[in-house]
Amino acid sequence: MNEDEEQLDPTSFLEFAQSLGGGECVRYLTEALHELTLKMRHESVAQNEVVKGGLVLNIKLSHAPTGIVSTAYEIKQTPPPKKTSGSIHWSTKAGQLVRQDPAQVKLPLNDIGAPRKPRDLKN
């Protein structure tokens, strides 16, 4: 800094954030936070446990020798992972995944036809 430049207090981050994109940054952050909160609430209730998520504001600055500073921002959400269930498959010699064990002996199924009428019970 030059000696003849006046030393001022730093720019308030809140004021700076409110000016990004003409105010749209704060609006988008608010929407993203609300959306993330809803997702986290849903997953926490569905999983019946604590879930974690995140919200990141990435600000990029480009400073020209003339003193002009260009700004750009990016908002990233990290929602909680959904709880998923697995399944079991078997691999064949040809490398296919199948739901039934290829080594399992297959039993023939008999066709029982139409449902039968119940018989009378004898005493």
pLDDT tens readout for residues 31-86: 999 999 999 999 999 999 999 999 999 999 999 999 999 999 999 999 998 887 88
Q: What is the pTM of this model?
A: 0.62
Q: Nearest Cα to 80, choosing from 48, 112, 123?
A: 48
Q: What is the pLDDT of residue 122?
A: 76
- The 10s digit of each residue's pLDDT in 3-25 is 556 778 888 999 999 999 999 99
DSSP 97-109: EESS-TTSPPPPP
Q: What is the pLDDT of residue 24?
A: 95
Structure token pair of residue 42: 């849903």
Q: Cβ contacts of residue 74 below 8 Å, gap of 6+?
A: 57, 58, 60
CA distances from 62 to 8, 20, 56, 72, 114 (A): 21, 14, 20, 9, 79
